[in-house]
A and B are shown apart, each in its own frame.
Chain A
Amino acid sequence: KNEVEQSPQNLTAQEGEFITINCSYSVGISALHWLQQHPGGGIVSLFMLSSGKKKHGRLIATINIQEKHSSLHITASHPRDSAVYICAVSTNFGNEKLTFGTGTRLTIIP
């Protein structure tokens, strides 16, 4: 069993829909990261969370440490949000060593 599980693997939605991507992990973590990867490979860090909730524009990320679960929400989705969203956890306190989920491929149809 992978240490980090994401669902769904693929998600197609209409423009404007509310999107939720889930991430569950089975190890103790120091932080959880949500990353975005567009075709071509570059990865952008969206959020780093150790507790609670963070919001940036139309993106919201939440984490429940007790349940070992995090969600990424996109409000008013847009075709430019189409990308692979990856959940990753830091397990080495003070060191940068990320363990990744398999990613969620999101496609927003105009």
Chain B
Amino acid sequence: KAGVTQTPRYLIKTRGQQVTLSCSPISGHRSVSWYQQTPGQGLQFLFEYFSETQRNKGNFPGRFSGRQFSNSRSEMNVSTLELGDSALYLCASSPSAPNTEAFFGQGTRLTVV
């Protein structure tokens, strides 16, 4: 069974640009969560999608958005990039049952210059 796949693995963008990151969950998993990891703030929850609906959102500005498609694949978008958006972005997928184990992707390392 394939794991969680995130693309691209590495990305360099310029301030002011926008970026789209992709996450393909494990087959059969309907929940996809996104997290940001920085040296200063650690791991922080961005948002969670289940069956194409955003169920939870973390405390991030509106520049951070996401969506989920009918095949459970998810994308997150960051508009008007700032230097502080440089981070490792991780997604995790889990089955539809409550409180089930989360499976993480390898992450996308975004550098904003």
Residues of A with C-beta under 8 A to B101? 33, 45, 48
- A30 close to B104 (CB less than 8 A): no
Interface members, chain B 47-67 (any A CB < 8 Å)? 48, 50, 55-56, 58
Q: How many residues of B contact A (CB 8 A)?
A: 28
Q: Would you call the interface of chain B mostly helix, strand, loop, or mixed?
A: strand
Mask of A87-110 contacts with B, CB within 8 angstroms, 1/0 = 010101111111111110000000
Given A96-B33, A97-B33: A41 in contact with B109 (beta carbons within 8 A): yes
Task: Encode B96-113 as 1/0 by CB contact (under 8 A) with A.
Answer: 001111111111010000
Does B88 belong to the interface (CB within 8 Å)? yes
**Within the complex, which residue of B42, B48, B107 is in contact with A97, where a contact is CB–CB below 8 Å?**
B48
Tier of interface size on chain A: 20 to 34
A90 surroundings in chain B (CB, below 8 A): 99
Q: Are B35 and A98 in contact (CB under 8 A)?
A: yes
The answer to whether A96 touches B31, judged by C-beta atoms less than 8 angstroms apart, is yes
Asked if B42 and A41 sit within 8 Å, CB to CB, the answer is no
User: CB distance A31 to B99 under 8 Å?
Assistant: yes
Q: How far is the CA of A43 from the CA of B90 in the complex (A)?
A: 9
Residue from A41, A44, A48, A95 in contact with B55 in the complex, judged by beta carbons closer than 8 Å? A95
Q: Are B45 and A98 in contact (CB-based, < 8 A)?
A: yes
| B12, CB-defined interface residue at 8 Å | no
Residues of A that sit less than 8 Å from B by CB? 30-31, 33, 35, 40-45, 48, 50, 86, 88, 90, 92-103
